[in-house]
């Protein structure tokens, strides 16, 4: 199963919820040419649920999804499935790059498990589950190629989009999302102004956004990203657009 990357065409932070989590308004698009791969394998090196991959992450969101499904009532089915199977993960999406690779892997695992075990969970039920795991997962579960995303990432509205060809650059810089958000919080921001801008952006196509607005206007996290990772300044000054909290950047193909 392919776990596609995503890009943020715009990302405006518009407030905080009661938990002090950031509320956002963003355009997500699916990148069909960049994806991780997940499939069930007969290869086993240990008992129970196992992820076999060259990629290692101590705080693995797929394992959290596995345990969440167990808690949701599917423990017996999952244990039976992974008695003789492992989950093979081939990692192609750069990490710490603002492309949602971990969230996409998690969404694909939920879909793969749902289909394999015939759990009959609806897309909305999977999305409801995903909110306990991470903010971007809902978009990948939706199946939309382009959507306006709001709340903490769980509100997804499909968008009929016009997407130009994009030329991507993947700097060898790992941008820590939580640190970038904390850097953003160090300065005062006009959330009402950000909301007004977001309402305009939500009605424009990706093509219109990228031709009519500058990088700093579209992504509120570019400035804090550069503050933390000074090597990103070159991309800012050369009019690249930033996806998410970085470090992936892009321009429209000429």
What are the catalytic residues? Answer: 6, 136
Burial class (CB in 10 A: 0-12, 13-18, 19+), 113: buried
CB distance 242 to 235 below 8 Å: yes
Distance (Å, whole) CA 136 – CA 140: 7
Closest residue by Cα to residue 97 from 226, 227, 246, 234: 246
Tell me which residue of 77, 87, 69 sits closest to 118, measured CA to CA.
Answer: 77
List of residues 6+ apart from 215 with CB closer than 8 A? 222, 236, 239, 240, 241, 242
Give the pair of three-digit tokens for residue 18: 């009661």
Q: For residues 76 and 222, what is the distance between their CA atoms, to the nearest angstrom?
A: 45
Beta-carbon count within 10 A of 240 CB? 20
């Amino acid at each position: 199963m392919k776990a596609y990357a995503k890009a943020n065409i715009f990302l405006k932070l518009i407030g905080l919820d009661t938990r002090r989590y950031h509320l956002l308004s963003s355009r997500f698009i699916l990148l069909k040419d960049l994806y991780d791969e997940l499939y069930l394998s007969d290869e086993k090196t240990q008992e129970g649920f196992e992820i076999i991959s060259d990629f290692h992450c101590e705080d693995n969101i797929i394992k959290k999804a596995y345990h969440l499904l167990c808690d949701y009532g599917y423990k017996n089915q999952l244990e039976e499935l992974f008695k003789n199977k492992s989950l093979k993960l081939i990692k192609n999406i750069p990490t710490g790059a603002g492309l949602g690779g971990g969230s996409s892997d998690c969404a694909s695992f939920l879909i793969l498990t749902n289909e394999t075990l015939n759990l009959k969970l609806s897309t909305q039920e999977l999305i409801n589950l995903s909110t306990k795991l991470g903010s971007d997962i809902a978009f990948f579960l939706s199946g939309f190629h382009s959507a306006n995303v709001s709340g903490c990432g769980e509100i997804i509205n499909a968008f009929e989009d016009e997407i130009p060809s994009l030329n991507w650059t993947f700097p060898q810089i790992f941008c820590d999302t939580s640190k970038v958000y904390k850097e953003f919080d160090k300065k005062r921001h006009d959330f009402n102004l950000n909301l007004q801008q977001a309402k305009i952006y939500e009605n424009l196509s990706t093509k219109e956004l990228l031709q009519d607005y500058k990088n700093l206007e579209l992504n509120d996290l570019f400035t804090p990203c550069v503050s933390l990772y000074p090597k990103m300044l070159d991309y800012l000054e050369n009019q690249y657009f930033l996806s998410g909290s970085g470090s992936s950047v892009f321009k429209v193909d000429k």
